[in-house]
């Protein structure tokens, strides 16, 4: 693919729209009904998520950014000179700045994200702000196996994976282990991963974080129905669904659902999918870990645990893992 002049490379592996249709159809046909949270992130969904990160209730982002800022010198010492950073789910490109500012002459930054225009915009803004660092972008669903293109082999410093935001929480523990083992293979022996993991805490704090008073999380959740209408031609009434999010203590995860407010049907690709009143479409899991639980998971995936840092409330953790 031709890269914009300011990027070292751009690889476009954007999943075809047919994937969304196939996944949505299969999810509506299954019992209970489900849909993958990766479909939240169209342009509007990405913007709504950034709004969530600013809410008082969603402690995740501000807690992690404060940690990243405070720990810059520790990361710089571990990474050394000429690091090549690979970020999985780069979003707005805010957190990476803390690393680019702190590390010793980083050589390259490679952003991977599923939201194409968002990815290009954010990476090109970074390229303008950090002209001495090579910037590459890959539009891809990083939950599927992915090999880095040859252009991504820049410099000979540390290959540092960066997976902030507790993105890993969207995976079940089994899938998280598989995904982490793929990342370990991608980084290779001698590489390292800096990963942000949200911690188990008081249920009231967790419930509030996914039920902000301004209604941004609700809008974010409901946006997935609008995507189905706009992009897949689904026939449905978003107002007939309600955002529902709660911490499931037994499973150690926040669950987000869209609850049907009446008996109704959603029509997609020529098929009618009936919803009973009270039935839900399960749109997201956000797993929470203890430091010990996550360390064990990372070790099972083939990493060697190096260092863990947490904030003063023990709300959030950053793990430095070696391959």
Where do contacts with ligand AVJ occur on this chain (CB under 6 A)?
Answer: 52, 60, 165-167, 169-170, 210, 217, 284, 286
d(CA 197, CA 212): 21
Q: How far is the CB of 252 from ligand AVJ (least distance, A)?
A: 13
Give, for 5, the enclosing helix (H) or strand (E): none
| 192 three-class SS | strand
Phi and psi dihedrals of 65, rounded to 5?
-65, -40
Q: Pick between residue 58 and residue 273 the one whose CB is nearest to ligand AVJ.
A: 58
Closest CA to 256 of 51, 61, 36: 36
d(CA 233, CA 258): 19
Q: How far is the CB of 95 from ligand AVJ (least distance, A)?
A: 12
Q: Are 285 and 34 in contact (CB under 8 A)?
A: no
Q: Are 244 and 259 in contact (CB under 8 A)?
A: yes
Q: How far is the CB of 207 from ligand AVJ (least distance, A)?
A: 12
d(CA 300, CA 302): 5
Q: Pick between residue 46 and residue 123 the one whose CB is nearest to ligand AVJ.
A: 46
Q: How far is the CB of 190 from ligand AVJ (least distance, A)?
A: 28
Q: Pick between residue 165 and residue 191 the one whose CB is nearest to ligand AVJ.
A: 165
By the 10 Å C-beta count (0-12 exposed, 13-18 middle, 19+ buried), 199 is classed as buried
Q: Pick between residue 33 and residue 243 the one whose CB is nearest to ligand AVJ.
A: 243
Q: Pick between residue 286 and residue 317 the one whose CB is nearest to ligand AVJ.
A: 286
- Length of the chain measured in residues: 323
Q: Pick between residue 106 and residue 169 the one whose CB is nearest to ligand AVJ.
A: 169
Q: Pick between residue 286 and residue 295 the one whose CB is nearest to ligand AVJ.
A: 286
d(CA 164, CA 309): 13
**Residue closest to ligand AVJ (Cβ):** 286
Phi and psi dihedrals of 100, rounded to 5?
-60, -35
Q: How far is the CB of 274 from ligand AVJ (least distance, A)?
A: 27
Q: How far is the CB of 247 from ligand AVJ (least distance, A)?
A: 12
d(CA 162, CA 107): 15
Q: How far is the CB of 82 from ligand AVJ (least distance, A)?
A: 30
């Amino acid at each position: 693919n031709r890269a914009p002049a300011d990027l070292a490379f751009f690889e476009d592996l954007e999943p075809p729209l047919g994937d969304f249709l196939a996944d949505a159809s299969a999810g509506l046909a299954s019992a209970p009904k489900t849909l993958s949270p990766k479909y939240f992130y169209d342009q509007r969904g990405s913007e709504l998520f950034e709004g969530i990160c600013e809410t008082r209730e969603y402690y995740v982002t501000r807690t992690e950014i404060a940690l990243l800022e405070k720990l810059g010198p520790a990361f710089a010492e571990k990474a050394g000179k000429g690091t090549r950073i690979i970020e999985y789910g780069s979003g707005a490109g805010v957190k990476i700045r803390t690393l680019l500012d702190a590390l010793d002459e980083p050589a390259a930054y490679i952003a991977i994200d599923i939201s194409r225009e968002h990815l290009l915009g954010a990476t090109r803004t970074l390229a303008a702000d950090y002209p001495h660092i090579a910037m590459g972008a890959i539009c891809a669903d990083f939950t599927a196996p992915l090999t880095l293109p040859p252009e991504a082999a820049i410099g000979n410093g540390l290959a540092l994976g960066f997976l902030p935001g507790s993105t890993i929480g969207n995976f079940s523990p089994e899938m998280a282990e598989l995904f982490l083992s793929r990342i370990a293979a991608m980084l290779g022996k001698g590489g390292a991963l800096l990963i942000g993991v949200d911690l188990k805490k008081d249920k009231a704090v967790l419930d509030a974080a996914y039920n902000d008073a301004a209604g941004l999380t609700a809008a974010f959740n409901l946006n997935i129905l609008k995507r189905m209408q706009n992009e897949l031609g689904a026939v449905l009434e978003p107002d007939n669904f309600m955002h529902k999010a709660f911490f499931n203590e037994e499973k150690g995860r926040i669950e987000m659902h869209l609850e049907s407010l009446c008996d109704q049907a959603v029509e997609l690709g020529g098929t009618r999918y009936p919803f009973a009143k009270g039935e839900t479409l399960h749109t997201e899991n956000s797993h929470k870990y203890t430091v010990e639980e996550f360390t064990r998971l990372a070790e099972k995936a083939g990493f060697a645990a190096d260092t863990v840092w947490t904030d003063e409330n023990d709300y959030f953790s950053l793990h430095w893992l070696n391959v």
